Structure 1
């Protein structure tokens, strides 16, 4: 079938992206779903720094690639089950896309979310679906899948292990955000930080993922302090319910510390700030994805003498099929207002300019409406 989507043509084009246009709105051919796969009509797709990091070269991927990994939609076709068995979904189901499929059989999948799926990670790096196949072409040439989703398009074929069903009462924009921002930031809260009511938690880096961590911590009864170098983000954190919000310099000068600090910015300075704000005996949880060449300075003596711990958390150490329903229930109960993360709704053809807004720190989550 013919679809329209935003294809990354070249990595590393100069900004502003509104002028260099690294993403072209293209007509593509989408093959039918194979065994264990489904065709999804995309309803909403969120713009995330993991998309931006491919565009700017911080996380190189094969191109041309149809971008987008945070999305929701409706199942319109189910592939022949064949040897894959029942995919567990029905036509008309609303589903959340998740950017790391889980095969269910490898050591990573047996780690209960601590480690990513090995075959899923390999497929993501190769630009394929979990099966190793590609379902996208343009003018007869293959187009790569982005993290098994490629959600910046009118339709997508995905492996059934890359989606989680949600009830129809979960709005499409909320459902999209559950698959990345909330699963990563909120997952770090419920799976690693595990705050008790009344505990204080610091979040460093107040983008979409950091704000999702903030909202989730508030949802489970914690007190949250926000830290970011962008003054606008500090005001937004206070509006969302943070008890206080500081620049990194002010937090250091005031001696602000907590037993649990979540770093969600994906850069060296934020990571170093998070470690510095971690109290003796405390834990720094880092979910950000910096450049592979980034290096930070940390005092080993400080870790030893103060018995502090640093923990990495990929995708919030989440198991999507287990955790997305938890977040959906929190939203349904009025405790997790995910919709407050939406800065703007945009058209697909506005995606390049929207990437500029994301890079400049002017947006939490911009949502493409299909």
Structure 2
């Protein structure tokens, strides 16, 4: 493209400090360096992790430096590639990834994990391999959230943190596979390995939770119980396969006791999609004492979960999942294919569509529980 090798001036939603709304600024995005790719972001999703870092960083997230551009769930088109990049070309449709897959390390070669750590330490603090960001504002470095920064019209990511997808995929739908849907769906089918005719409970019916519900249904669960304090989400949960929903506020006893009673002993599988340590404990204790399995998909970096040792000793299993267990670079294109073949729902997650300059409205919709996913058009 004509912009290859040049600095691109574009709009981005910049977080200047914790607790303050995002500000739309004219930023500069430098050309990609070795092993990097610059992409034009077409669509991005507002994820709870973005909101939590901006407004509750001290409670559930480790500190990352400001100013930064949030957004880690997006899709776009390759604008240019840096030196030694051979797997991407200008014009390719892509999904940036906060979880890399280098394909060469011990973890990438293992079938037991998807936790590649290529450039991990740097991207976690908002910079790329050389210790700097490619985004700046009037000469000041602007950090890239999880190495992505999807709330910028252009961004630069490592080539190991990018999935190339089919050319006919609608970017304003498949962006969901960059985080929320992949995480929840994979939590059920990959990590929990939900079995046919089993009984499941999904705690939290946001995008991740609804994707977990969908995963339980695809796996053939006969009973899928959605748990949320917002009853407005129950109808949507039914669309994804929930057979019934429960509001903890409607009961005087703890929700885990309610579920154990409802299921005559506990559920086979529980998936926690909120990121609250107390809810994680409730999800774990809602499973069968002899063979129940609980998967934690909700994100918190500083919380401490309370688990009674006896609950483990009696036979329960407690596991965590990151990005749903998917090998990011190779599996995201397969999930896109499943969507295109109508084997995977995506459209139903999107409740609102807004331009970049209304991104703070999208954050409010998320905070008040009025949205599942808002697509931001860049």
Whether the 8 Å contact between 1:101 and 1:148 is mirrored in structure 2 is: no
CA contact (8 A) 1:113 1:319 kept: no
Bigger Cα displacement from structure 2, 312-321 vs 148-157 = 312-321
Q: C-alpha offsets along residues 107-154 of structure 1, whole Å, 9 cap, x if unaligned? A: 443444636233443122221124534211111111101111100011
The corresponding residue for 1:80 is: 83
Aligned residue for 1:337? 345
1:281 aligns with 2:291: yes
> Given the alignment of the two structures, is residue 226 of structure 1 paired with residue 226 of structure 2, yes or no?
yes
SS in structure 2 at match of 1:322? helix
Residue 11 of structure 2: aligned partner: 4
Q: Whole-Å Cα distance in 1 between the matches of residues 370 and 285 of structure 2?
A: 26
Q: CA deviation at 1:78?
A: 1.4
Deviation at residue 99 of structure 1 after TM alignment: 1.1
Q: CA RMSD in A?
A: 1.9
The match for 2:275 is 266
Aligned length: 356
Residues 1-370 of structure 1: pairs in structure 2 closer than 5 A:
1-11=8-18, 13=19, 20-21=20-21, 23-56=22-55, 57=57, 58-59=60-61, 60-81=63-84, 86=86, 88-112=87-111, 114=113, 116-223=115-222, 224-248=224-248, 249=251, 252-253=257-258, 254-256=261-263, 257-279=266-288, 280-292=290-302, 294-305=303-314, 307-370=315-378
State the alpha-carbon separation in 2 of the partners of residues 37 and 316 from structure 1. Answer: 25
Q: Given that residues 195 and 221 in structure 2 are in contact (C-alpha distance below 8 angstroms), is that contact kept between their aligned partners in structure 1?
A: yes
Taking the aligned partners of 1:103 and 1:168, their CA distance within structure 2 comes to 23
Deviations 1:151-190 (A, max 9, x none): 0011111111111111122211222101101221112122
Q: Secondary structure at the match of 1:25?
A: strand
In the other structure, the counterpart of 1:17 is: none
Give, in whole Å, the separation in 2 of the partners of 1:251 and 1:322.
37
Return closer, same or farther for 1:326/1:352 CA change in 2, 3 Å cut-off: same
Residues 251 and 126 (structure 1 numbering): CA distance in 2 closer, same or farther, change over 3 Å? Answer: closer
**Distance in 1 between residues matched to 2:99 and 2:186, nearest whole Å:** 14
Structure 1: runs of 5 or more not aligned: 14-19
Contact 2:123–2:145, Cα closer than 8 Å, also in 1 = yes
Give the corresponding residue for 2:4.
none
Q: Is the CA contact (8 Å cut-off) linking 1:212 and 1:338 kept in structure 2?
A: no
Find the aligned partners of 2:299 and 2:150 in 1 and give their Cα distance.
Answer: 20
